[in-house]
Amino acid sequence: MNPILEVQSLSFRYAKAGPMILDSINMKIEKGSITAIAGLSGCGKTTLAFCLCGAIPKSLPGIMEGDILLEGRSIRELSLPALSKKIGIVFQDVDNQLFLPTVEAEIAFAAENLCLSYEEIEEMIERVLKTLGIEHLRSQNPSLLSGGEKHLAAMASILSLDPEVIILDEALSQLDSDNRGLIIDRIKLLQREGKTIIVIDHDLENLMMADTILLMKDGRIEQRIKAGENRELLYSKLTDFFLYQNK
């Protein structure tokens, strides 16, 4: 199976004399998979997320070497609007991502900027609300929603363009168990619909939903773990990885 994303010898630093944040990363993301990228704070996983969605090097300055292929094509060749139709990202602090008065307006925003017709936008809003099961939030103000509902609203806003890849950058880290379960259920539903999910996290429970877990340290991929292993053994491996780094 051809990967939907392929990272080739990717290195990145924010300044010429600055430290290497990403160091010769090679990885493949299979279409329709859930891939977790995990590591302690400062390991480079958020910078990697910015590279995967194209924010680096198109919006954030720095020195990037190597390449990222999206369906076989370098993301350097794609504009940010073109990339946003292929890859969407939900950040940890969704309050910085939600700025309109209703969930419906958040969903419609990107489509309106693409000058889609009223009928197309209405059809898209209905589709996204139904996919995430949040029809009841349509007219709600995102700032007044619960943590889990805010994350669903943020997911809805990026699903408006129907991207094939969805990146969640520690989007579950500040949620209680009920809201976390709600988001994980929706993530698995999106996977069943053919979406490719990349979860950036360091919480062991959040990592358990993944098909593949990539463990990062000092800007490198240190280990690749397939989720087909016994859950208890998988949990033990992840615990050992994080405990070893804290010594």
Q: What is the per-residue pLDDT across 183-213, written as a single tens digit (0 to 9) for each?
A: 888 899 999 999 999 999 888 888 888 999 9
Q: Which of 144, 145, 143, 125 is closest to 135 using CA atoms?
A: 125
For the segment 168-185, the average pLDDT, to the nearest whole number, is 82
Measured CA to CA in angstroms, residue 43 lies from 67, 135, 215 at distances of: 20, 38, 10
pLDDT at 246 exceeding the cut of 70: no
Q: Token match 């925003």: residue? A: 109
Q: What is the pLDDT of residue 175?
A: 77
Structural domain spans, the chain? 93-162
The alpha carbon dihedral of 121, 186, 147, 48 has a sign of: negative
Q: What is the pLDDT of residue 2?
A: 75
pLDDT at 233 exceeding the cut of 80: no
Give the whole-angstrom CA distance, residue 163 versus residue 84.
Answer: 7
